[in-house]
Amino acid sequence: MDHREAMELFSAYQDGDVTAEERASLEAHLAQCAACAQEWQRFREMVSSLSGLLPITPPVDTVVQVKQKIRRRSAGRFFNTDNSLSTRFGVVSFTLILAFMLGYLLLQAVSEISVFEASAPLDIPPVRDSATDIDVDTDSGRLVDTGRHHTDTEGDAAQRQVK
């Protein structure tokens, strides 16, 4: 423990608000450090002289005057304490309108999703008029266009007409 840490613990130590570890560490430091021990002694003397002072109570009218002055100066700055019926009605109305609007939008979104799911899928036959041969390059593992292009032969077209 250094001097600064010891002095920071003086008040808590005086009040008995330190842990057992902090108390042991402070007492060990005070036993070894003459400067901190002297500062601790001055601190205790100051606290004991202050504890002998009587508390001063301000006159009642002073407290009332200060409170009134604070109210007057801060009126409307932080929170408007207007709790009138019209204010409450406005807040409730706004909340209800917002809730109805959000509910309407949610229902619209749900109905659009269900219409989309109910629609039949389009039956589009695959177009197979031509094809290109594609091979796999064994060195790179990539697909490679061989450049060979095939078109339907008459037999393939006739076979499709029979089906």
Q: In whole angstroms, how far apart are CA 6 and each of 9, 34, 38, 47, 50? A: 5, 12, 12, 17, 21
pLDDT at 143 over 80: no
pTM: 0.36
What are 70's two structure tokens? 């604070």
What's the CA gap between 82 and 88, in Å, rounded? 9
What's the CA gap between 41 and 51, in Å, rounded? 16
Report residue 28's pLDDT band, with 50, 70 and 90 as the boundaries. very high
Phi-psi region of 108 (alpha: psi -120 to 50; beta: other; left: phi over 0): alpha
Task: Tell me which of 28-32, 94-98, 128-132 is least confident.
Answer: 128-132
pLDDT at 158 over 50: no
pLDDT 10s digits, 73-95: 876 565 555 667 777 888 899 99
Torsion sign over Cα 76, 77, 83, 87: positive
Q: In whole angstroms, how far apart are CA 138 and each of 55, 99, 120, 135? A: 95, 62, 43, 9
The more confidently predicted of residues 130 and 41 is: 41
pLDDT at 13 over 50: yes
Average pLDDT over residues 50-63: 83
Report residue 122's pLDDT band, with 50, 70 and 90 as the boundaries. low
The more confidently predicted of residues 114 and 39 is: 39
